[in-house]
């Protein structure tokens, strides 16, 4: 089965939650941290417990590499172990690495993150050096059943500085989306979407609705939910017939145990409860 069809099916079965494992040591409850000799060991076991309690309520997982790089060599080992554990559970994994370079350098990034110790299913890419930055990743997508989510419209407050610039009525984000869509068109799965999708944030509703109308063949990775201000009622407009995108939440799930409504729950139980709440809220507005 093509990777994008697996993801489409996972959304249909489990809902839209993409659980972000942006795990900082400070996010881990003190009593749990004290069980381990090193921060790296605590982070890995925290991740493993979160994953184990959410496999049936999350469509996929996104692992942000920066949190692990910040821990040095021990953190990079945890990053690799977390990816392997997810793949061993047959979970769909997005490595959030935002690579964007050219020629041989990009080839090495593709090899690094589509195979070996850091192998994942999808990776995030930054195309703003030009669309030739995507070319070295295409053979892996075509021949090795891999995928990519390419930045189009991000969720950060400064996104409009560049992505919002307009020429002849078309924003930079829309132009980037059009070019990503053109490249993606030749790789569609049975579900109609391509494994080359777009990162489209949910903090600018008007822009995202326009992008969904323009980019019918692109599956969306949608950041900005929860802590960044994105709301469940906005999500339906970014989808097509209730599918076509996954919605990332990181801190909202990892720190769910700190919320009053989940008082008394362990961190992994609270993470599961938050995933279910998020899933059901989005499904409600999708009419499912």
Q: Which residues are catalytic?
A: 98
Name the residue with tokens 């076991």: 45
* CA proximity to 153, closest of 128, 132, 120, 129: 128
Contact 214, 174 (CB under 8 A): yes
DSSP 205-273: HHHHHHHHHH-TTEEEEE--BGGGSB-HHHHGGGSBTTBSEEEEESHHHHTGGGSGGGTTS-HHHHHHH
Contact criterion met (CB below 8 Å) for 253 and 50: yes
CB atoms within 10 A of CB 287: 8
> Which of 142, 133, 132 is closest to 98 using CA atoms?
133
Give strand pairing partners of 93: 61
Q: How far, in Å, CA of 64 to CA of 61, rounded?
A: 10
Smallest CA-to-CA distance from 7 within 201, 244, 250, 253 is with 244
Contact call for residues 151 and 98 (beta carbons, < 8 A): yes
Q: What share of the chain is helix, strand, coil (3-state, %, to 5)?
A: 55, 20, 30
């Amino acid at each position: 089965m093509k990777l994008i069809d697996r993801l489409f099916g996972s959304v249909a079965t489990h809902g839209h939650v993409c659980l972000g494992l942006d795990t900082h040591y400070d996010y881990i409850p003190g009593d749990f941290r004290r069980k381990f000799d090193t921060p790296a060991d605590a982070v890995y076991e925290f991740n493993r417990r979160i994953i184990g309690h959410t496999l049936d309520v999350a469509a996929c997982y996104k692992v942000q590499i920066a949190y692990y790089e910040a821990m040095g060599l021990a953190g990079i080992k945890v990053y690799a172990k977390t990816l392997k554990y997810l793949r061993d559970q047959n979970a769909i994994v997005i490595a959030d690495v935002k690579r964007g370079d050219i020629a041989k350098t990009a080839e090495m990034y593709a090899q690094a993150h589509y195979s070996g110790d850091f192998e994942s299913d999808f990776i995030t890419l930054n195309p703003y050096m030009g669309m030739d930055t995507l070319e070295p990743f295409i053979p892996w997508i075509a021949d090795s059943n891999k995928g990519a989510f390419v930045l189009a419209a991000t969720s950060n407050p400064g996104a409009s500085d560049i992505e919002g610039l307009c020429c002849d009525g078309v924003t930079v984000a829309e132009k980037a989306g059009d070019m990503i869509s053109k490249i993606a068109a030749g790789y569609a799965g049975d579900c109609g979407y391509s494994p080359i999708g777009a990162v489209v944030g949910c903090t600018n509703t008007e822009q995202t609705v326009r992008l969904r109308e323009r980019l019918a063949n692109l599956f969306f990775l949608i950041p900005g939910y929860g802590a960044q201000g994105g709301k469940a009622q906005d999500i339906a407009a970014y989808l097509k017939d209730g599918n076509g995108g996954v919605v990332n939440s990181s801190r909202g799930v990892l720190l769910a145990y700190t919320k009053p409504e989940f008082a008394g729950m362990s961190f992994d139980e609270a993470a599961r409860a938050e995933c279910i709440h998020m899933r059901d809220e989005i499904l409600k507005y999708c009419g499912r």
